């Protein structure tokens, strides 16, 4: 190297370094703004129930002893809003957990048919509603992290339950390249123009109605993170007043790469 060449090389490296430093700062800034928006949204969502609880307890303090009907109304409202806050904080916690989940992530091979059957049986009891389960094969194996898999399925079943009054259907389809789990309901459906937004944090199609169903608008964004962790993809098709179908598609090729899928003995 002549002196000049070394210098030129150094300058190039320096330029690259400063460029990647710049990129890093931009990433950090975007991350910060993202986090700030998240905190603002979350605080806003928590503020509404707190305001309701606060004003009802003020009223109770002043008039609660004299007016019995006010007593009942206030207690019902306070209890409703407290439940909403509980749900929201639980959702916020699981959102925080899932974005830091990778270290506890343990993929194991499961028979989806058995695992989903257990989940639906448990939730049938909770909802008091029938969940139909069908599968094109008796045994369908995929490799997933069982904790996040359970959470993922539950989010879609909870939504199907919240946004319909009719039966819920879960179909497992072992296809050539994927294993698809379809969760369908015959409920209110989602308007076409909202479909692309429903995975956005805190997005709800109908805020007023969602308040009644106790939605936080976090479920599907959590689902998307959980799916990503399990290398699955989510798609949705929906018709207003007819119902919705959410499909979670697990790749089979991934398992082949890691070698475990082909070595499985069928039970």
Given the rule CB under 6 A, which residues bind ligand ADP? Answer: 159-160, 162-163, 185, 187-190, 198, 203-206, 210, 215-221, 244
CA distance 78 to 171: 39
Shorter beta-carbon distance to ligand ADP: residue 119 or 142: 119
Residue number with CB closer to ligand ADP (131 or 160): 160
| Alpha-carbon distances, residue 94 vs 74, 99, 133, 226 (angstroms) | 30, 9, 27, 10
Shortest distance in whole angstroms from residue 165 CB to ligand ADP? 11
Rounded to 5°, angle at Cα 101 from 178 and 114: 45
Nearer to ligand ADP, 107 or 219 (CB): 219
In terms of DSSP H, where are the helices of 64-145?
68-99, 112-127
Contact 200, 262 (CB under 8 A): no
Which CB sits closer to ligand ADP, 142 or 234? 234
DSSP reduced 3-state for 27: helix
What would the two tokens of residue 187 be? Answer: 């409920």
166 touches 127 (CB < 8 A): no
Judged by beta carbon, residue 145 or residue 185, the one nearer ligand ADP is 185
Whole-angstrom distance, CA of residue 148 vs CA of residue 232: 12
Shortest Å, Cβ 167 to ligand ADP: 13
Q: Kind of pairing, strands 168-174 and 131-135?
A: parallel
Q: How far is the CB of 105 from ligand ADP (least distance, A)?
A: 22
| Closest-CA residue to 151 (of 83, 85, 105) | 105
CB 219 to ligand ADP: min, Å: 3
CA 3 to chain centre: 58
Nearer to ligand ADP, 160 or 179 (CB): 160
Closest to ligand ADP by CB, 109 or 206: 206
CA distance 57 to 52: 9
Q: Is residue 163 exposed (0-12), middle (13-18) or buried (19+ Cβ within 10 Å)?
A: buried
């Amino acid at each position: 190297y002549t002196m000049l060449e070394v210098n030129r090389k150094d300058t190039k490296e320096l330029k690259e370094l400063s460029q990647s430093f710049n990129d890093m700062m931009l990433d950090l800034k975007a991350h910060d703004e993202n986090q700030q928006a998240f905190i603002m949204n979350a605080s806003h969502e928590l503020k509404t129930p707190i305001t309701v609880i606060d004003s009802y307890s003020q009223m109770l303090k002043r008039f609660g002893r004299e007016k019995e009907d006010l007593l009942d109304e206030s207690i019902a409202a306070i209890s409703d809003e407290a439940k909403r806050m509980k749900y929201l904080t639980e959702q916020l916690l699981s959102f925080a957990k899932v974005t830091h989940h990778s270290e506890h992530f343990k993929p194991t091979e499961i028979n989806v048919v058995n695992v989903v059957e257990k989940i639906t049986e448990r939730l049938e009891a909770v909802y008091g509603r029938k969940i139909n389960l069908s599968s094109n094969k008796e045994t369908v194996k995929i490799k997933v992290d069982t904790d996040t898999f359970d959470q993922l399925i539950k989010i879609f079943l909870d939504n199907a339950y919240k946004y319909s009054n009719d039966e819920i259907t879960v179909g497992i389809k072992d296809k050539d390249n994927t294993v698809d789990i379809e969760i369908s309901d015959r409920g209110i459906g989602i308007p076409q123009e909202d479909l692309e937004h429903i995975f956005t944090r805190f997005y709800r199609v109908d805020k007023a109605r969602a308040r009644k169903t106790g939605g936080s608008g976090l479920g599907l964004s959590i689902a998307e993170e959980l799916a990503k962790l399990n290398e699955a993809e989510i798609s949705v098709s929906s018709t207003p007043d007819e119902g919705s179908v959410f499909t979670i598609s697990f790749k089979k090729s991934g398992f082949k790469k890691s070698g475990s899928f082909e070595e499985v003995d069928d039970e």
